[in-house]
Amino acid sequence: MGNSYKELIVAMVRTGILGFGGGPSVIPLIRYEAVARYKWMEDEEFGEILAIANALPGPIATKMAAYLGYKQKGTMGAVIAVLGHILPSSVVMVALLTLANVLSYSTVVTGMIAAVMPVIAVMLGQMAYEFAEKAVKGLGILVGGLLFVLSFLLLQVVTLHPAIVIIIFLAYGAFHFRLKHKLEERREKGKGMSA
């Protein structure tokens, strides 16, 4: 808990200001701050917290900010992190409301927004690739690939709510690793008896 409130505020203000397009587009920025820049947690923990936060109601970025703040500085850290994340963009949004009619017809602004969209898509794709890589490493290519296909089908074809899919996969993950652990124990006992 040696991290300062200043680091927490700077990280969350940065994600709040630079995050464009809503919660999911901010997640790679939050991940960068928490995992790469300040090393508040490992990538695996970030992935777990992201899965749990996705299953809970409310904006994902605010939940992630609250968790990071709470992890670093307790309840006051959670409050400060959430405020640091939402206040800058809220203030800017209120200030820009006075210019909204003028800006909404501007071809320059429309062009700027269109130009930012591919960057967001790449950031999300990069994060998805890195999580997929870890899933395949932990589950194996066959099981990992099958779970990718199954999650796609559940989300896109069956159209289950993402929280339900996450809960199903959390339950499967607990079962999978418990079974894997038991099989490894049996192998070790078998080696011990044959030696």
Q: What is the pLDDT of residues 127-185, one digit of tens each?
A: 888 888 888 887 788 888 898 899 999 999 999 998 899 889 888 888 877 887 788 88
pLDDT on residue 93: 81
Residue type, 147: L
Residue 77 has pLDDT above 90, yes or no: yes
- The domain spans of the chain are 1-116, 140-195
Length of the chain (residues): 195
Please compute Rg for the chain using Cα positions.
21
User: What percent of the chain is predicted at pLDDT more than 90?
Assistant: 37
Higher pLDDT, 76 or 144: 76
120 contacts 26 by C-beta, under 8 angstroms: no
Average pLDDT in the 103-118 region?
A: 81
Indicate the average pLDDT of the chain.
Answer: 86
Residue 114 has pLDDT above 50, yes or no: yes
pLDDT on residue 1: 44
pLDDT on residue 192: 64
Average pLDDT in the 38-63 region?
A: 89
Residue 66 has pLDDT above 80, yes or no: yes
Question: What DSSP string describes 48-104?
Answer: HHHHHHHHSSS-HHHHHHHHHHHHHHHHHHHHHHHHHHHHHHHHHHHHHHTTHHHHH
Locate 134 and state its tokens: 């870890």
- Confidence class of residue 101 from pLDDT cuts 50, 70 and 90? low
Residue 193 has pLDDT above 70, yes or no: no
